[in-house]
Chains A and B, each alone.
Chain A
Amino acid sequence: MTDENGTQSMENKETPRQFGTGLGIKIFYGFIRAGGQKPAYALLYVVVFYYLLFSPRARESASHYISRRFPDAGGFRVFIHTYRLIVSLGRGLIDSAAVSIKGTSAMNATCPDKEALHGLINHNKGDNKGVILLMSHAGCWQAAMSALDFLPIPLNMVMQIYQDHDNYHLLKHKASNIKVIDSSGYLGGTIDIMKALARGEGVSVMGDRLFEADKNGLDAQFLGAEARFPYSAFRIASATGAPILVLFASKLGGVDYRVELSKVIRVPQGLGRKKAAYQPYLDDYIASLEQYCEKFPYQFFNFYNMWKL
């Protein structure tokens, strides 16, 4: 979300995309085209090793999360944890690239909570409230979107089109029921979000990354220290009455992904603009995020210091 009128400034985080150069990405695409994901993974293991060995910046960007997720690790163990984290990120990116090249058959994404999601969505569709899908930079959101193609409503993905150009085109290309709301546009796309919810549609927002220009941050304990999170999803939920479905995507191995409904957060209507009113709901989401990080320590992809307040 933007903080004020107009467009949003650049994100202050090092994005995963910065881990690869244009030429490097082309080489990986070449490997995927020639032999599928496995040869690309093999190349990835080598590239990440050398990359981490010679790039202090890469190690530093991963260290914020690694030092809190593995507080007792030191020296060589930190290097191993960092290596596994970056490899996991790279494998997700390779799988996403494979989907864009070869179609959804390149990824096997399932959702064990289909029935529950159907029930929740149909209930709210009748009330014209829609649902907010609260996702995180964890696992592979492209897999999540693939796994949710059974949903009977259009999904609106809130993203910065100029920043996430490739994913925007990937979504447009492969998923007919997915629409994109540009969060870098006027008022952060909030009007479009509200209209989509009023039509009974789903709106997918990320709950774990705050943008530089965003005043809508709230501090909460995450992995043992105070970190800053966006709370826009909770405020929109309060204004519209839409429930928040907390979803996590995880890679299980090979090309298998799973998307799970972690919990449903219902924010009372009319909480207004006081940040503190949203703290319990943010804490509820963070409890799920911590459980996810406990279970999948190498699938949380925020490479910036979210603990620096």
Chain B
Amino acid sequence: MGSVIEFDGLKEQLKKVIVEELNLEDIDPGEIDDNAPLFGEGLELDSLDAVELVVQLQTHFGVEITSMEQAKPVFQSIETLARFIQENQG
């Protein structure tokens, strides 16, 4: 139960970081669907937002994306991104 709450908290924190650091205007972090695509549809981030995202993941969560192969499954949604952070945080 505790770890579920922790994971939910991580997802909320992640949404806040994305909205604030990427300056996503008119988007309320609370309204972001955990499973909506980050790129393309959903949040409609583009390839240059990925640059910011990589920097912010390192700054706020201390995790590093090291390759395209790794990024593809991780950047699918808030859910996959949060799981990656959870598994890789030191």
* Interface residues, chain A, with chain B CB atoms under 8 Å away: 1-6, 185-195, 215-216, 232, 235-236, 239-240, 272-274
Contacts and interface: CB of A to CB of B under 8 A. Distances in A.
Contacts of A193: 51
Contact of A195 (B21, B44, B67): B67
Contact of A273 (B52, B66, B71): B52
25 contacts: A3-B46, A4-B39, A4-B44, A4-B47, A5-B37, A5-B40, A188-B47, A188-B48, A190-B47, A190-B50, A191-B65, A191-B71, A194-B51, A194-B54, A215-B46, A216-B46, A236-B48, A239-B51, A239-B52, A240-B51, A240-B55, A272-B21, A273-B22, A273-B23, A273-B52
A122 B45 CA distance: 34
B68 interface: yes
Interface in B34-80: 37, 39-40, 44, 46-52, 54-55, 65-68, 71-72, 75
Contact of A1 (B22, B44, B48, B71): B48
A190 B39 contact: no
Given A273-B22, A273-B23, A190 B40 contact: no
Given A1-B48, A3-B46, A273-B52, A189 B68 contact: yes
Nearest to B51: A239
Interface of B: 21-23, 37, 39-40, 44, 46-52, 54-55, 65-68, 71-72, 75
A190 B23 contact: no
B48 A186 contact: no
B76 to A, nearest CB: 9
A188 B68 CA distance: 10
Contacts of B39: 4-5, 187
A235 B46 CA distance: 12
Nearest to A6: B40
Contacts, number: 74
Nearest to B48: A235
Given A216-B47, A239-B55, 15 more contacts: A1-B47, A1-B48, A3-B46, A4-B47, A187-B39, A191-B50, A191-B65, A194-B51, A195-B66, A232-B48, A235-B51, A239-B52, A273-B22, A273-B48, A273-B52
A112 to B, nearest CB: 33
A2 B45 CA distance: 11
A6 B47 CA distance: 9
Nearest to A189: B68
B68 A191 contact: yes
- Which 3 interchain pairs have the tightest Cβ spacing? A5-B39, A188-B47, A5-B40
Contacts of A195: 66-67
Contacts of B67: 191-192, 195
B67 to A, nearest CB: 7
Contact of A236 (B51, B68, B71): B51
A188 B40 CA distance: 13
Contacts of A215: 46
Nearest to B69: A186
A171 to B, nearest CB: 19
B23 A187 contact: no
A92 B50 CA distance: 36
